[in-house]
Structure 1
Amino acid sequence: MYQSVIRTVPALIVAVAVGIFGSQVACAQQQPIKRTDLLKTDLSDIEGKEMHIWVADIAPGAATGPHFHPTPRFVYVLEGAVVLELDGKPPRTYTVGQAYVEMPGERHNFRNASTTEPAKALGFQYGGKDQPLQINAP
């Protein structure tokens, strides 16, 4: 009996360690919203400003949480559907081929409309050099 317990305990320890490590790796790999920068370039006719263009891959059910932008952000939906929740306004859903703007200082949440399918959006925003493009809000 003791021999089977002695053999079972190390196997159990290994199984628990693999489970813990595996879940940490899975959490680290799964990003709710993955932003891939496509272009960052100076705007030569606007001193000290630069343009940012990126693609956002939005996991099912993912959301940004409340935030705002210091400059306008323009968004074009490439795949799936997204919901823009502006403070004080009803949520608005945008689907493939639709675009919208998030105006400076507007507190909002951006999320995938689906809990089962991913979404993808193309974003455009200019800002000052080294200026944060998004500011999290309480």
Structure 2
Amino acid sequence: MHQSPIIKTATTLIAAVAAGILGGQIVCAQQQQPIKRMDLLKTPLSDLDGKEMQVWVADIPPGAATGPHFHPTPRFVYVLEGSLVLELDGKPPRTYSAGQAYVELPGERHNLRNASATESAKGLGFQYVGKDQPLQINAP
């Protein structure tokens, strides 16, 4: 059966719109994968009254990001796998790869993201905080 050029164009347009919507949903689903944190240690620090050390491993899915936030105390991170991009307000982004470490200082607003859109990244984090104090505070 022969289709008119208008029907072919409409069919192509509908297919393209459907592919765009489906592709957009797939991208959104990938970006919404949560960062998983596995707590390894939480222990009181006798030298720092009321403070405790927390140690964890974070698994950062491809393309995932923390969103803007800051920490009440220093956070130290050692990259175990992949690469992480630290985006500090007012400074150029810095990329840290497996085997490198960095610090996020108290009150510095920043975003952390996986540098790869296809591979997971992992970081080992260390931070001391007051008992029941949040490790991070989301920022606008």
TM-score (norm 2): 0.77
1:83 equivalent in structure 2: 85
Deviation at 1:31, TM superposition (A): 3.8
User: How far apart, CA to CA, are the structure 2 residues paired with 1:69 and 1:94?
Assistant: 19
Question: Residue by residue, what CA displacement relative to the aligned partner does 1:82-137 show, whole Å, maximum 9, x if unpaired?
Answer: 00000000000000100000000000000000000000000000000011110000
| Runs of 5+ consecutive residues of structure 2 not aligned to the other structure | 1-28
Runs of 4+ in 1 over 3 A off after TM superposition: none
Deviation at 1:44, TM superposition (A): 1.0
Match of 2:137 among 131, 135, 138: 135
Give the match's secondary structure for 1:88.
coil
User: How far apart, CA to CA, are the structure 2 residues paired with 1:45 and 1:108?
Assistant: 29
Greater shift after overlay, 31-40 or 115-124?
31-40
Deviation at 1:65, TM superposition (A): 0.1
In the alignment, structure 1 residue 114 sits paired with structure 2 residue 116: yes
2:107 equivalent in structure 1: 105
**Number of equivalent positions:** 111
| Runs of 5+ consecutive residues of structure 1 not aligned to the other structure | 1-26
User: How far apart, CA to CA, are the structure 1 residues paired with 2:33 and 2:40?
Assistant: 18
User: How far apart, CA to CA, are the structure 2 residues paired with 1:39 and 1:125?
Assistant: 11
Deviation at 1:32, TM superposition (A): 2.5
User: How far apart, CA to CA, are the structure 1 residues paired with 2:47 and 2:94?
Assistant: 34
Give the match's secondary structure for 2:66.
coil
Match of 1:50 among 52, 64, 77: 52
Match of 1:37 among 34, 39, 47: 39
